[in-house]
Structure 1
C-alpha cells in the first residue's frame, strides 16, 4: 500500500468518525480483514504522556448484535489473564471504532525457528491461561490461532484478540452472546439440534436395525465432476470459497522480520485439488413406489433413509440413500488448519473444546517447528490430515461419540507424537536428511475418505498420503538459520514426556474427553521445573 493510498483511508476514517481527529493521530494501518481494519494511532494523555493505541474499525455492514457481542467480550473479560481489553469505543451512524491498548508483537512464523523450549512452554501456558478466562465466562472464541494471540518476545507479554466470531455456551455470562444464541436457535429451529454445555458431548443414539428395501430403492446416479478454481483472497471450504478474514492475522503489517505470506519454514502439507460433485436427486416417489401409500410406510422409509448405511463407498456413484439425507446446519467458523474433527464433520454440538483443539495444533507447531502444520484446502482434506496423524481407527471411533460416521478405505495407523515432532525438527540425528528416508518413501499410497455428516449425505474424495504431514516429499531439515546443534542447545533435545502427554490430551479426537484449559494448567508438564 502506498503512502497516498494509506493517507486516503485514514482521511476516510476521520470523516466517518469525526471525533477521532480531535483525540488520535492515526499513523498507518497495521492489519486488515473482511470485517475490519486495524490502525496504529497515538494520543496525548492528560498527564502529557503520549501513548499508542490500536484502533479497530468495523465495517458498516457488520451486524449490530455481533458488534455489541465483540465489544462486551472485550469489556467484561478483557484486561486480565492475557485477554485484550478495551479503552474506548466510538460510534457515528454505522461506523464503530474500538480503541484497544497497542501491543507491539512478533510474527509467529518469524520466531518459531529460533524459539527456545522454555519459551515455547511459556507461550502455550499463557495461551491456555487466556482460554481458561474466556471459557469461565462462557465464551467460545472459535478462531484461536497464532495471529490472534499476540506475543511480544522481548517483553514477554501476551494478548488474545479478535472476538468477532465468538459464540456463547448455554450458560454464558455475556448477554449479547445470549442474544446471538437465541437468533441462531430461531434460524435453525427446523433442525432442533440438542444443546449441551461445557466440554461434554452426549453419546450418539443407537442406530435402528436395518430394514430391507426393494431393489428399486438402490438406484444410484454417477458423479458429474466440476473443477472450481479459487480466486484471490479466498478461503477454501467444503462447499465453496469465502472471503479471507484476518485481523491481527496473516495480513498483519506490524511484524518484525521479512517473512511474507506462505510457509517460511517449508510447508508440511501439500495442497490437494478440490472436486465439488454435482448430483442428480432421485425423487422421493421413486424410492417409495413399491410401498403402500400409508403414513406408517412413509415413516418407515424416512427412518431407514436417516440411519441406513449406503453402498456407494469407493464407487463412482451416489446411492439413493445418501441422496435422501436431510441437510444439517452447524457452525463452521474459524480458520482452516485449526478446526477440530467435530467442526470438520459439521457436528451441531460444539463447545469450548474447539478452542482447546486449536491450542493443541499451535503446541504441535511449537514442538515440531512446522507452521502451518495443517493446511488443507477443504474440510474433508483437513479431516484426512488429522487422520494421518491421529489414526483412522481412532478418528472413526471418536466420531461415533458425536453422531458422525467416518469411513476410510485404508487403515491409517496413528503416529507417535514424540517421534513425529523430533523427526520434523530433526533433533536426534544432526545432518540427517529425512527426505531420503526409505521409511517415509514407503507410505506413498492412495486412500479414500468418506464422511456421513447427517446433512448432505456422504462426501468422499481420493487422497494421497504424500499430501499429508510426515511423508518424504514434505519433511525438510531445520531452516539454515538454526542448525540441529543450535536447536539442541535451545533445549529441544530434552523435551519431557509430559509435553507429549499434554499434546495428546489437547488433540483428543473426542471433544467430550478432551482436556479443558483449566485442567491443562494443572498438568504435570507445567509444574515440572516451573513455567
Structure 2
C-alpha cells in the first residue's frame, strides 16, 4: 500500500519521469513476450535450434509471425534469414499453395523466394532471404520523383512475374513490397492470400480457394503485417466524405436483402447500402419483414438491423478493387493492378493511406469521389453489378488532386486542414489534409524561403529542392488513370505497364 502511494506521489511530482518509467515497463514486458514466443517456436520446431539463432520478432499478422534469424555458414560467416511461422490452424492446402508460389515464381524479378521449409506436426516455418527495408510511411515524403518511378517499375516487374504463372496476389500493398532504398532492392512477399487464375500454372492454387471461409472473415477484421511493417491503416484517413452521397449496390436478377452501414466522422456523414444474396422477400413474415427502402434515398430499420456483408479473401481495406468491393465472382490479376494504382496514387500525392473505410460500400463511395459516380456505375454494369448513387459526383483530375495534396501546385500549407485554393470541385476531394508537409521538408522550406508576407502561410519552394516533383510528366498521370480503370477488363496489365511511355528510358 505504501509503495503504491509513493509511486503515485512520484508520478505527480515528476510526470516526465513517470512517463519514461511506464514506457520502459511496457518495453520490457513486450521484450519478455517476444522472448517467450521465440522459446515456444524452438520447442514447436526443434530442428531450428541447430541451424538458426533467432534474434527478434519483426512482424506479426493474422496467419503468421515473422522472425529475424542468422544462419552459420560453412565459411564461418553469418547470413540473415527471415523465418515465417505459420499458425497451426492455417489450412494445410493454403500453406502448400503459398510454398508452391514461392518456389515456382519466386527468386527473381523482385519476387521473394524460399530457401528452406521446416515442419513439425502442425507447425510450419518457411525460411526466406532477409531484405532489410524502409517503412513506406517514413520515407514517403522524402522520395524523389525518380525514386518513385523506379519503385513502380520494379513493382510491375514483380507483378508481371507472378501473373505470368497465373497467380493473383490479392494483397498488394506497400508493406508486402519490401524496398531497400540504399541498395535499390525490392521484394514482393506474402502469398498467404494468393489465388489462381483459371489457367494458373500453380497446381495447388486450383483448389486452394475452397478452404475454410472462416479464415477470410478473420482477415477482413484484423490487419496483417509482414516483416515488421506497421499497420498504417490505423492512421487518420485521407478522404473527406460527401455529405449527401448515398450508394446502393444491387445484385442483378436476384431477390434483394439489404444491409446497411453508417460511417460518422468529425466532418460529415455518408450513408451506404449494399445488397446481399438472399431471398428475404420470399421468406418475409412476422420474424423476417421485407425491406421497403429499395431504390430510395433512405435506409429502413429492417436494413439497419441486418449484418454487414463481407467479401471473401478481400485483401487489405483501402486497396480493394471495385470488382472486389462489389462482390464480383470473377476476379482476375486486374485486382493486383488496381492495388498497384492505389500505391502509385499515394506516391504521387504524398498521402498514405489514401483511402480508409470500415466497410466495402463506404470504400466504393470513396472511390466514386475520385473516379466519378457515373463512371463507377457504368463500370459496375460491365461485371454484372448495379450501383445506385443519389448524387452525381464528378471525376477528379488526377494531376490537380495529387498536386494539391503534395503541395507542388501552390505551395505547402502550414496550418492544419488548410487546402490550397483551386478548382470548383474542391469540395468533392476525398481526403482530409491532416499532414500537409513532412516536418523535415517544412523545416527546409522555412530556412530557404526568400520572403514571407505577414499572415500568409504559403512558403516559397525552390525548384532545386523539389526533387523532380515540379516536373512530373503527363505520362505519370496517364499511367495512373489506366491503373485506376474502374473496368477490370480494360485495366492496364503489368506487362503493358512496363511498356508505358512513363518508363521509356528504363531497361527491362
TM-score tier by shorter-chain length is: 0.7 to 0.9
Q: Confirm whether residue 91 of structure 1 aligns to residue 122 of structure 2.
A: no
- Match of 1:399? 380
- Match of 1:248? 227
**How far did 1:376 drift?**
1.2
Q: Do 1:370 and 1:424's aligned partners in 2 also have CA atoms closer than 8 Å? A: yes
What is the DSSP-based 3-state SS (H/G/I as helix, E as strand, rest coil) of the residue aligned with 1:158?
A: strand
Change over 3 Å in CA distance of 1:124–1:337 after alignment to 2 = same
The CA deviation string for residues 71-101 of structure 1, in whole angstroms up to 9 with x for no partner, is 0100111100000000000000000000000
The CA deviation string for residues 114-133 of structure 1, in whole angstroms up to 9 with x for no partner, is 00000000000000000000
2:353 to 369, 372, 385: 372
**How far did 1:142 drift?**
0.1
Change over 3 Å in CA distance of 1:436–1:52 after alignment to 2 = closer
**How far did 1:443 drift?**
5.8
Q: Confirm whether residue 524 of structure 1 aligns to residue 501 of structure 2.
A: yes
2:238 to 268, 271, 276: 268
- Match of 1:26? 54
Distance across 2 between alignment mates of 1:442 and 1:142:
33
2:138 to 90, 93, 110: 110
Change over 3 Å in CA distance of 1:485–1:337 after alignment to 2 = farther
TM-score by length of structure 2 reads 0.76
2:206 to 149, 156, 178: 178
Distance across 2 between alignment mates of 1:328 and 1:429:
42
1:9 to 32, 37, 61: 37
**How far did 1:328 drift?**
9.8
TM-score by length of structure 1 reads 0.73
- Match of 1:345? 326
- Match of 1:284? 282
What is the DSSP-based 3-state SS (H/G/I as helix, E as strand, rest coil) of the residue aligned with 2:187?
A: strand
**How far did 1:438 drift?**
6.0
Aligned residues: 424
Q: Do 1:250 and 1:261's aligned partners in 2 also have CA atoms closer than 8 Å? A: no
The CA deviation string for residues 282-305 of structure 1, in whole angstroms up to 9 with x for no partner, is 652779xxxxxxxxxxxxxxxxx9
The CA deviation string for residues 25-59 of structure 1, in whole angstroms up to 9 with x for no partner, is 00010000111000000011122221010000000
The CA deviation string for residues 137-188 of structure 1, in whole angstroms up to 9 with x for no partner, is 000000000000000000000000000000000111111111224x47xx99
Written as runs of structure 1 = structure 2, the 5 A alignment for 1:129-528 is 129-181=157-209, 183=210, 242-248=221-227, 250-251=229-230, 262-263=234-235, 267-269=237-239, 272-273=263-264, 284=282, 311-317=294-300, 331-432=312-413, 435=418, 437=420, 469-470=430-431, 473-474=432-433, 477-482=436-441, 483=445, 484-485=461-462, 488-528=465-505
What is the DSSP-based 3-state SS (H/G/I as helix, E as strand, rest coil) of the residue aligned with 2:221?
A: strand
* Stretches of structure 1 lacking an aligned partner (at least 5 in a row): 189-234, 253-259, 288-304, 445-464
* Stretches of structure 2 lacking an aligned partner (at least 5 in a row): 1-28, 242-262, 265-269, 446-460
**How far did 1:436 drift?**
5.3
Change over 3 Å in CA distance of 1:378–1:98 after alignment to 2 = same
Distance across 2 between alignment mates of 1:398 and 1:370:
26
Q: Do 2:337 and 2:492's aligned partners in 1 also have CA atoms closer than 8 Å? A: yes
What is the DSSP-based 3-state SS (H/G/I as helix, E as strand, rest coil) of the residue aligned with 2:362?
A: helix
2:82 to 49, 54, 78: 54
Q: Do 1:427 and 1:493's aligned partners in 2 also have CA atoms closer than 8 Å? A: yes
**How far did 1:244 drift?**
2.8
Q: Do 1:148 and 1:249's aligned partners in 2 also have CA atoms closer than 8 Å? A: no
